[in-house]
Structure 1
Amino acid sequence: MSTTASTTSARTPTTGAAHRYGDPSTRWALLGAETMLSREPRINTRQRWEYEDGLVLNGVYGVYRDTGDVRFLDYVRTNIDEFVQPDGTIRHYAYDEFNLDHVNNGKAILDLLEETGDERYRAAADTLFDQLQHQPRTSEGSFWHKRIYPDQVWLDGLYMGSVFYARYCALVGRSDLVDDVVRQFTNAYDLTLDPATGLCRHAYDATRSMYWADAETGLSPHVWLRALGWFAMAMVDVQAYLPQDHPGRAQIRTNLGALLTALQRYADPATNLWFQIPDQAGRPMNYLESSGSLMVLSAIATSLRLGYLAGPGWDEALERGWTHAREQFLSITAEGWVNVHKMCQVAGLGGATRRDGSYAYYMSEPIVTNDHKGYGPFLLLATEMERRR
């Protein structure tokens, strides 16, 4: 494994004095990736196979692709190699949980496979693909989010499992599965759409039996910003792995445009950022949330670069959101490390604590700093913004 940077000019200063708060000239993606190398050389000291780590590794890999600095590629490889063994087995991964979250790190595995050709990464990717081939499904054909959440579709799961599904199929030539990949996305949109707002609810219960589910629609009570962010990023990313002429690709792009347009209607007018519950901006305790706002802005930025969004106002909305995101969510420590603040630590439905999807529930989850579910989207968005320079 290489340990020498391809250039020294890519390195950024390590003192906080070198950067001003919210400074638009700072290379935020590069500084954020440098921060990870210094502050978290091991991305998961608990030895747990966790989806949010893959999100950060994807962000660091993007910085490697843009800078050519192999330290960032080495960081991805070192941290994935904590889990992927010489025979391709994945330590601390539980196949039989049928948990879509466990598949997300497969994107970093595919990055390494394409960079190195190492067959152990192919074996690890094969295992994750095999999970999806046996993943339980709802009557509509959608993957269950987890085995412990039967007949439930969560928007988070499209980012976790179905983008990898599409990319793997494209890599190995499984064109017979393209329709199924598309089905995961179009089903999720159709099943969770709230026509009154144009936004998608957090989750859907096909049985209508969960205590959080509407008895008629099966929908959870609220939209949740980060779920919308996961879904928007997933709809952007998947298009790279679908045939250009497949009608499902056009439908996914149409759905993406409709969702982003609806989200823009609910953006905070002062900042072009979004609240934890986007369509409840005026309610007490609701707050501008970083992880979901960064995800939505990242989806907009990538869509603009790839030509997925058209019409006036998008560039201005993106630039204004990024300006306020730097001011609202980012700080730099005395060491010169980036902190990302104001993120919901976690939110879900059901489980041992009977998470009921109510407004009070979403307001009750801790607000934290530097959780990987927010740090990864920061890296992804910052990388896109630097590409616009």
Structure 2
Amino acid sequence: MSFINKKLKIYAVAVLGSGIFMACAQTKTATAAKTSTEKSTSGKVVPTNLKWSERMMLSEMQRFPEAWMLDFSKSPKWTYPSAIVLDGAEQLYIKTGKKEYYEYISGFGEKLIKEDGTILTYDLDKYNIDMLNSGNVLLYLYEKEKKEKYLKALQTLRLQIDGQPRTNEGSFWHKKIYPYQVWLDGLYMGMPFYTHYTKDFIKGADATKAYDDIVMQFDSVQKNLLDKKTGLLYHAWDESKEQAWADKQTGLSPNFWGRAMGWYGMAMVDVLDYLPENHPGRARIISYIKSYSDAIIKYQDKKSGLWYQVLDKPLANGNYEEATASAMFVYTMIKSVNKGYLPKSYKAAAKKGYDGIIKNLITVDENGVVNLNKCCAVAGLGGKPYRDGSYEYYVNEEIRSNDGKGTGPFILASLEFEK
């Protein structure tokens, strides 16, 4: 290589190096500018002068910089808790117009849906009703962006509804691996998506048939899972009565788990957003919300305003005031009052619960980041190792902070109170 060529090569490397240095310096400056903007209003990462809805949403975005990370996911996977928090982000974007909320939602769709419409980690053949819930995010993104990949993914999820196994009277099994089992959780996981999809894409007699099917899911749950004495609903029902957790006479699981009831309440109020005003089933679902609310108010702690992990055994050893159920009950009632499904008198119980969450379950870090504590991480029935639905089982499941199944409903409840 000639002396001149060597000099040119050294010069090129130097220029390239300085370019990389400049780019890095600009990136750092941009990041620093963003951080200083974030902190400018109150000197905090999450400004304390915002409403609770935004404070919790920004805290979630701080903890989980990408939406697929919500609920402590280590790698992108198609799961349900993200969708609840992103429902809050969607409403905050509408309310504030702040682009970071939309970008957070949009990033979830970009990461989880491949260009051909394939959903990352999703397996249709499992017929797991939990997997329908994040379809709500795609309904929103498709409405906004009209990307073909979102439409294809939505059509795949809708195919699951067509093939989902059912009980003899037509209730969806919770999963293919849980034959003949109806869980309260499943109403929230499947029905708002089913109703919203029907409203957006199905017309005429097919839509009527779908709406009738959706209402029937609630009618069936009221018939088979309701305890007439307390007004509460059991976590699950096994039509075959074969499960070790199932009562041999009734097929019911043995306890009233707080979050299962929470899922059911949110399912009812969210389905009504999309069920036609003139559908005869609306009045029935509204009547179910009323009897449901009357029942949970009876089991609300008089002092704290909160609800327990196992609803009807507040004094039993190991029971505790649980955040996710409390947030879900508050959301269900305050949204029902705002929408006119419940009389205004029910706002008092909702407000007592909401204030109880803030006083007893919320902590704020020095940098302004908000935490929701005492969330039950997970609970179910059957499976391996076997979950027997006993009182001891529910109170010994993992408890953690900032679970999306609590933070999401807290954001949604906050938005309803802020209206």
Structure 1, unaligned runs of 5 or more: 20-24
1:46 to 32, 50, 75: 75
How many Å apart are 1:11 and its aligned residue? Answer: 9.0
Contact 2:39–2:46 (Cα < 8 Å) also in 1: no
Higher alpha-carbon Rg: 2
1:320 and 2:352 correspond: yes
Partner of 1:275: 308
Give runs of aligned pairs for residues 336-347 of structure 1, distance below 5 A. Answer: 336-347=368-379
1:157 to 183, 186, 193: 186
Write the letter of the residue equivalent to 1:225.
Answer: G
Distance change >3 Å, CA 12–CA 118, structure 1 → 2: farther
How many Å apart are 1:14 and its aligned residue? Answer: 5.7
How many Å apart are 1:189 and its aligned residue? Answer: 2.0
Distance in 1 of aligned mates of 2:401 and 2:223: 34
1:355 to 367, 376, 387: 387
How many Å apart are 1:306 and its aligned residue? Answer: 0.5
How many Å apart are 1:80 and its aligned residue? Answer: 2.1
How many Å apart are 1:71 and its aligned residue? Answer: 1.1
1:225 to 244, 258, 266: 258
Distance in 2 of aligned mates of 1:159 and 1:371: 17
Distance change >3 Å, CA 14–CA 287, structure 1 → 2: farther
Contact 2:293–2:333 (Cα < 8 Å) also in 1: yes
How many Å apart are 1:13 and its aligned residue? Answer: 4.0
Contact 2:305–2:355 (Cα < 8 Å) also in 1: no
Distance in 1 of aligned mates of 2:77 and 2:201: 28
Contact 1:55–1:376 (Cα < 8 Å) also in 2: yes
Q: What percent identity do the matched residue pairs reach?
A: 40
Contact 1:341–1:370 (Cα < 8 Å) also in 2: yes
How many Å apart are 1:331 and its aligned residue? Answer: 1.1
How many Å apart are 1:38 and its aligned residue? Answer: 2.3
1:84 and 2:113 correspond: yes
SS state at 2:363 partner: strand
Write the letter of the residue equivalent to 1:354.
Answer: Y
Contact 1:54–1:105 (Cα < 8 Å) also in 2: yes
How many Å apart are 1:95 and its aligned residue? Answer: 0.7
RCO higher in structure (CA 8 A, sep ≥6): 1
Distance change >3 Å, CA 186–CA 354, structure 1 → 2: same
1:29 and 2:14 correspond: no
SS state at 1:153 partner: strand
Partner of 1:310: 343
SS state at 2:295 partner: helix
Give runs of aligned pairs for residues 64-103 of structure 1, distance below 5 A. Answer: 64-103=93-132
2:214 to 181, 204, 222: 181
Give runs of aligned pairs for residues 181-260 of structure 1, distance below 5 A. Answer: 181-260=214-293
Distance in 2 of aligned mates of 1:196 and 1:71: 48
Distance change >3 Å, CA 12–CA 229, structure 1 → 2: farther
Structure 2, unaligned runs of 5 or more: 1-33
Instruction: Kindly provide the CA deviation profile for residues 259-307 of structure 1, in whole angstroms up to 9, marking residues without a partner as x.
Output: 1111001100012211111111121211110000000100011111110
SS state at 1:339 partner: strand
Contact 1:344–1:367 (Cα < 8 Å) also in 2: yes
Write the letter of the residue equivalent to 1:325.
Answer: I
Give runs of aligned pairs for residues 259-298 of structure 1, distance below 5 A. Answer: 259-298=292-331
SS state at 2:177 partner: coil
SS state at 1:241 partner: coil
Instruction: Kindly provide the CA deviation profile for residues 151-174 of structure 1, in whole angstroms up to 9, marking residues without a partner as x.
Output: 100000011011100110111123
Distance in 1 of aligned mates of 2:142 and 2:39: 25
How many Å apart are 1:117 and its aligned residue? Answer: 2.1
Distance in 1 of aligned mates of 2:358 and 2:301: 15
1:299 and 2:321 correspond: no
Write the letter of the residue equivalent to 2:133.
Answer: N
Contact 1:12–1:31 (Cα < 8 Å) also in 2: no
Distance in 2 of aligned mates of 1:137 and 1:105: 21
Contact 2:329–2:350 (Cα < 8 Å) also in 1: no
SS state at 1:85 partner: coil
Distance in 2 of aligned mates of 1:274 and 1:84: 37
Contact 2:184–2:236 (Cα < 8 Å) also in 1: yes
* Aligned length, in residue pairs: 375
Distance in 2 of aligned mates of 1:278 and 1:39: 30
Q: Which runs of 4+ in 1 moved over 2 A?
A: 8-14, 16-19, 36-39, 173-176
TM-score in terms of structure 1 length: 0.92
Single out whichever of 39-48 and 106-115 deviates more from structure 2. Answer: 39-48
How many Å apart are 1:119 and its aligned residue? Answer: 2.5
Contact 1:83–1:91 (Cα < 8 Å) also in 2: yes
Distance in 2 of aligned mates of 1:11 and 1:361: 47
Partner of 1:22: none
Distance change >3 Å, CA 205–CA 27, structure 1 → 2: same
TM-score in terms of structure 2 length: 0.86
Distance in 1 of aligned mates of 2:119 and 2:45: 38
Write the letter of the residue equivalent to 2:334.
Answer: A
Distance in 1 of aligned mates of 2:101 and 2:380: 32
Contact 2:46–2:58 (Cα < 8 Å) also in 1: no
Distance in 2 of aligned mates of 1:16 and 1:280: 40
